[in-house]
């Protein structure tokens, strides 16, 4: 999976999601060269969900069924 910026330049390539106890670890490379392991705690996951409104949640689910 690749995360792109507003100019479609690659910011991060995600290569794995792993569980480490109660934390989600996202492993990948930033800018194609620098290895990184980002951690998402339950508290931060709840904070992220609070930022989403209903329309955005529906859009995220619909992404799974779109071409491109």
Q: How confident is the model at residue 30, as a pLDDT? A: 94
pTM: 0.77
The two structure tokens encoding residue 24: 């989600």
- Give the chain's domain count: 1
Q: Are 10 and 32 in contact (CB under 8 A)?
A: yes
pLDDT, tens digit, 9 for 90 and up, residues 2-51: 999 999 999 999 999 999 999 999 999 998 889 999 999 999 999 999 99
Q: Which domain holds residue 35?
A: 2-63
Per-residue pLDDT averaged across 52-62, rounded?
95
Q: Is residue 68 part of a domain?
A: no
Closest of 13, 34, 56, 33 to residue 4, by C-alpha: 13
pLDDT of 68 reads 78
Q: Where are the beta strands (DSSP E) in the chain?
A: 2-4, 10-20, 23-30, 34-40
Asked if the structure places residue 6 within a domain, the reply is: yes
């Amino acid at each position: 999976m690749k995360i792109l910026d507003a100019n479609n330049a690659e910011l991060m390539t995600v290569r794995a999601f792993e569980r480490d106890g109660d934390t989600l670890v996202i492993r990948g490379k930033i800018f194609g060269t620098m290895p990184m392991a980002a951690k998402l705690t339950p508290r931060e996951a709840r904070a992220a969900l609070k930022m989403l409104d209903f329309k955005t949640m529906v859009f995220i689910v619909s992404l799974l069924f779109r071409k491109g």
